[in-house]
Amino acid sequence: MKNTVVKINDLVKRYSELVALDHLDLEIYEGEIFGLLGPNGSGKTTTINCLLSLLTFDKGEIEIFGKKMSPTAYDIKKDIGIIMQNVAVFDELTVYENIDYFCGLYITDKAQRKQYVEDAVKFVGLDDFLKFRPKKLSGGLLRRLNIACGIAHKPKLIILDEPTVAVDPQSRNRILEGIEELNRSGSTVIYTSHYMEEVEQICTRIAIMDKGRKIAEGTKDELKRMIRNTETVNIEMIGLSDEIKAKIAALPHVYQVDFDGTKLTVNCSGGKHNLIRILGVLQENELSFGRVYSELPTLNDVFLEITGKALRDKGE
């Protein structure tokens, strides 16, 4: 049986007439990298702030590690690491001093704290920048420092809200690898991002929010099975009669056929041999074609079909 790390039950948060969270239920299990997705204004950040007791809410209950969360639940908070979208470090302190300060909020033993700080420095790859102040760091290095400050005390639950916004590809890859490494070492992770490929790469389970509600939840494969389009077949060719187009449209599992004069696009719902059937029709009618490729749905396709909205690169 899976151990529940976070349990949100019937959560309601209102701002006057605006309902930010509308009877939200969420359960996150030990050892997961749990992706929390939604368009701007969907309630992701509000959920995290309520989870951390940074916001009061109108109705509902939140439990973390099986205990009721509250503003004074310091026994719970010491086992949580938070890396928010906006970098929060001290400009007057060096890289090492920043990590040491934040670690010291939770770890009082000097020898243990020193070891934890060294572990965090090594983990984010900032060994060569220990004496630098934040203003001297690039955006990617600053993000890494922010992560080191949030995880130096080795928390059981780590919350990352848009940790890779505006960083270079090298730093982004290092951050993603680091998140997976933290997870392997025993931390449960809650991860929000507007980059679908990141979520698809690292998250074991995903919830999609919109208008303060959870509208879909599951693994990436389970989410992909929720939408109509399960495969898109693309064939480069010139010349396609309406008669042949109709034959393709009549094939099992085909629900849409488009031809723009140079490319045939066929959308399928279900089925395992769609490409073979489509090529069979073309070959039976002695039609020549060029490049052929099949595309499976991405998490972004799922998101667009379920919410009808595009994720943007900025947070809520």
- The predicted model gives 121-125 an average pLDDT of 91
Quick one: pLDDT at residue 53? Answer: 94
Report the pLDDT value the prediction gives residue 7, as an integer from 0 to 100.
97
Residue 313 confidence (pLDDT) above 70: no
Cα 178 from chain centroid?
Answer: 15
Q: What domains sit in the chain, N to C, each tagged with a CATH number? A: 4-224 (3.40.50.300), 231-296 (3.30.70.100)
pLDDT digits (tens, 9 = 90+) for 29-42: 999 999 999 888 89
Q: Is the pLDDT of residue 86 over 60?
A: yes
Write down the mean pLDDT value for the chain: 92
> pLDDT at residue 194 above 90?
no
Confidence at residue 312, expressed as pLDDT on a 0 to 100 scale: 52
How far apart CA 160 and CA 191 sit, in angstroms, is 5
What tens digit of pLDDT does each residue of 255-294 get? 999 999 999 999 999 888 999 999 999 999 999 999 999 9
Long-range (24+ apart) CB contacts under 8 A made by 260-265 are: 262/236, 262/237, 262/238, 263/234, 263/235, 263/236, 263/237, 264/233, 264/234, 264/235, 264/236, 264/237, 264/240, 264/289, 265/232, 265/233, 265/234
The per-residue pLDDT for range 128-145, each reduced to its tens digit, is: 999 999 999 998 899 899
What integer pLDDT is reported at residue 214 of this predicted model? 95
Q: What is the mean pLDDT of residues 182-194?
A: 93
What integer is the mean pLDDT of 48-61? Answer: 95
Tokens 């449960």, residue located = 188
Q: Are 210 and 307 within 8 A, CB to CB?
A: yes
pTM comes to 0.85
Residue with tokens 């749990």: 34
pLDDT given for residue 272 in this prediction: 85
Residue 75 pLDDT: 93
Average pLDDT over residues 95-114: 96
pLDDT band at 315 (very low <50, low <70, confident <90, very high): very low
